[in-house]
């Protein structure tokens, strides 16, 4: 079925249509401009959606990495170090466990014990 049968109908009707578009009244043009601006305002949140998706995902990933790292530390795969500047995992366990709260409450006492000089009999003096 061919479409090549323009005997003036297509050209004439297209010209009529174009003329009717050009003669649109100012109220309609104004409404269309408002509609366009409203549509463009809707576009911006759609673009931000990308960031709204990825940035929280990045946060979740960072938390997951931290959790895995701590898990490896507890299982012994990462040796806790008492070197200055490194995280002492044993101390972290102490802080995390409720059972050792009494120890934390008496930490000053144990610090004092540790500071006492040891006698020749293996006992703290004082």
Partner 1 sequence: MTLSDTLMLAMRLEEDPAYSKEHSLEQSRELERFLGGVERRAFRIASIAVRNDDDALDIVQDAMLQLARRYSDRPAAEWRPLFYRILQNRIRDFQRRAKVRAKVIGWFSIGPAERDEQADPYEAVPDPAASAVDRLSTDESMSKLEAALSLLPGRQQEAFMLRNFEGLNVAQTAMAMGCSEGSVKTHYSRAVRTLREQLGYD
Q: Which residues pair with 118 in a beta bridge?
A: 124
What CA–CA distance (Å, rounded) separates 110 from 100? 13
Per-residue contact string for residues 32-61; x = within reach of partner 1 by CB under 8 A: x--xx-xxx-xxx-xx---x--xx-xx--x
Which distant-in-sequence residues (6+ apart) come within 8 Å of 117 by Cβ? Answer: 124, 125, 126
Q: Which of residues 87-116 bind partner 1 (CB under 8 A)?
A: none
Considering just the CA atoms, what is the radius of gyration of the chain in Å? 39
Q: Which residues make up the interface to partner 1 (CB under 8 A)?
A: 1-3, 5, 7-10, 12-14, 16-17, 19-21, 23-25, 27-29, 31-32, 35-36, 38-40, 42-44, 46-47, 51, 54-55, 57-58, 61-62
């Amino acid at each position: 079925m061919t479409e090549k049968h323009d005997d003036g109908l297509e050209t004439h009707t297209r010209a009529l249509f174009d003329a009717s578009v050009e003669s649109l009244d100012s109220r309609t043009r104004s409404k269309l401009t408002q509609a366009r601006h409203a549509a463009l305002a809707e576009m911006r949140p759609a673009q931000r959606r990308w960031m709204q998706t990825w940035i929280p995902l990045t946060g979740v990933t960072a938390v997951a990495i931290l959790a895995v790292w701590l898990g490896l530390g507890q299982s012994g795969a990462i040796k806790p170090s008492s070197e200055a500047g490194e995280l002492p995992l044993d101390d972290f366990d102490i802080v995390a466990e409720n059972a050792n709260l009494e120890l934390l409450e008496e930490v000053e006492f144990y610090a004092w014990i540790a500071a006492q000089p040891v006698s020749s009999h293996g006992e703290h003096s004082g």
